Each structure stands twice: as C-alpha cells, then as structure tokens.
Amino acid sequence: MIEQFPKVNDTYSCSDIIKVEARMPITTSYPMFIAIYRQLESDAEGPENGRVSFAFNYESGSCGGVFVASSGIIKYKDNEFYSNKEYCVWLVQVPQAESIYFELESGEFEEDCDYITVSSVKELSTWFYSTATVISSENPIALVNGSVAIVTFFSDETEKGTGFRLYFRMEAHAFQEPTFSYQLFHQDIRTQNLFAYKAEPNQVAIVAFSAGTLLKAGIQVDITSFRPQVNESCSSDLLYIFEVNKTSSSTVRLTKTFTSADVDIEEPQIEAFDQPRRCIPLADSHFQACKSKNKCSDAPIGGSFRTNASPFYAIYSNVNVSGDLQGRGFAIRTRVR
C-alpha cells in the first residue's frame, strides 16, 4: 500500500462524513495498480444524495497500454519531442458507458502527418470495420459509441513535434447492463512475444499487439493454440484479427476469422458424430496435450500468416456455454524481423 485516505492522523468521529480534498500526484513504481474503497457498516446517516464514493483520474506515459476507468488522461511525451515513425496504441474502457468523450488538452504535432485517432470496438462487432475519428488542434473533441475505444498515435518520417494529453470520460450511461465483460490486454512487441488467454463464458478479450513503430513488412503471427467451445445452436467461440491501416482515418478492418470449423483435429475422432463438423462440441481429448498453457501444438488451419501492417488486434468472443473444454482459449506467437 502506497496511499491511504483518510490519513491515520486525520481527526474525525465515527458519525462524520469525511470529504477528502483532491490530492495529486500519486506516482506508482509499477505499470499496474489497484484502488480499493472499503465501506464500513454504520448506522450513521450518509450524505443527502445517499452516495458514499471516491473518484480519481490516472495518467500513463508509455507508448500504448490499457485504461479502465470512469475518466482519465492518456499522456504521451508531453512537453518533449517524439520520434519519427512512432505507432502507439491504447485500449480505453469506460465501464457502463453508452459513449465515451475524448478531448485533446494539449499537443503540438505536425498536422495531417502526425495524428491521434479514436475508433469504436462496438462498431467492429457490428460491421467488422471501424472508421476512426482524427483528433487534432483543429478538431480536439470526439465521441465514440460503446464502452471500449481504440486510440492510436502515428508520426511520419518528416518533422517532429511534442507529445499530447488526451482526456476521456463517460459521455452517456448505458441503458442496460452488458451481457458480457471485456478483458483488455496490450502486448509490446520488440522482437518476439507469446500471449495466451484462457477463456471463460460471456467474455470478450481484446489484445492490442504493437511494436511501437511502423513496420512496413508487418508482423509474423502464429496462432499456436485455438480451442473454441461450441453451443447447442452450433455457434462457437470466435477469434478475429483486425489490422489498422496507415491512413489519416486509420480504419480498423477485419482480416482473419477463426471458428470451430478451423480446428485442426484428427478426422477419425469426429466420425462418430452424425452432424456438421462446426457443430461438434469439442473436448480436450480432441487436441494434443499441452505441456503448459503457453506450449500447445493445436494450431488452427491457416493460423500462420503475416500482417500487412502494424499494429493489429486479436478479439476473442466467447459463446455463453461452459462445457468440458478446460483448455478453452487461444495462444499467439508474434515475431518482428
């Protein structure tokens, strides 16, 4: 624990409603932290609005990452020069939001050549592509539908500028509770990387893979494990691969899709099933045993390819069924030449 509010030496009685003034900054030594609000049982009356709560903003200065908060600031090389051909990606989730508000607080970069974009994950699930909104000093505000957004920053190979501060918050509250939860990850690829995800029902996992710079030759991707679950309606878990095109609109577009029909299993194992292959409920016995969750050899058909651009996103969408598939999920190995 690095901070506690109220402080130990703060004076108050058991019936007091304590309002702690805003305190900043609090700096962490690690890229992850947890904020816990502990509400004690009490017979004392609460505030007039009946709410006892806390709120905070947090900032990160790295080239890419994950933000999950009601509001926050993406800060990248603020008041310092960035390099040429940088490509940073962030995933932003504002839980229970119907839409997210973005506003550029500061930034001095080459207009039309270096830019920030924001795009909607919700649109990806509907149209399988999402046309991003470019944020600049001339267009500093953007709204994104849904509770999860993709934010990118790109610089070309000419003039350099200074970084930026991009503020975000909930614009509108969702009308109903979501039927699934998001799991967000960011993977920084320098030479090679291995990522594995064990799936649970009613989850959507989004993984951003980025090398921090534009790679014209793309990224070598090998899906080393893919074990989807199938429900009674013959729908299966899905693994999507989306690429971000290097254009001023930075369109995020679907390039690969994997379903249970792409699972590479021995045909004799499925001859007993009098149904289409995509409807077969899979079990761990259909696959070769894994030495660990990161060392499986159950790659799907067509699971080795090279992306046309960098970065790219892997989205794993789970059907609402538990089943007996203990190794459910996927693993991806990426390599940069």
Question: What digits encode the pLDDT tens for the residues 201-260?
Answer: 888 999 998 888 777 778 899 998 898 988 888 888 999 999 887 676 667 888 899 998
Give pLDDT, residue 239: 94
Amino acid at 274: D
Give pLDDT, residue 149: 93
Residue 313 and residue 150 in contact, taking contact as beta carbons nearer than 8 Å: yes
Among residues 258, 271, 269, the alpha carbon closest in space to that of 330 is found at 258
Composition of the chain by helix, strand, coil, percent to 5: 5, 40, 55
- Encode pLDDT of 68-99 as tens digits: 888 889 988 888 888 888 888 999 999 989 99
Establish whether the linkage from the previous residue to 281 is cis, with ω within 30° of 0: no
Distance CA 18, CA 91 (A): 34
pTM: 0.78
Average pLDDT over residues 146-157: 88
Among residues 76, 73, 80, the alpha carbon closest in space to that of 162 is found at 80
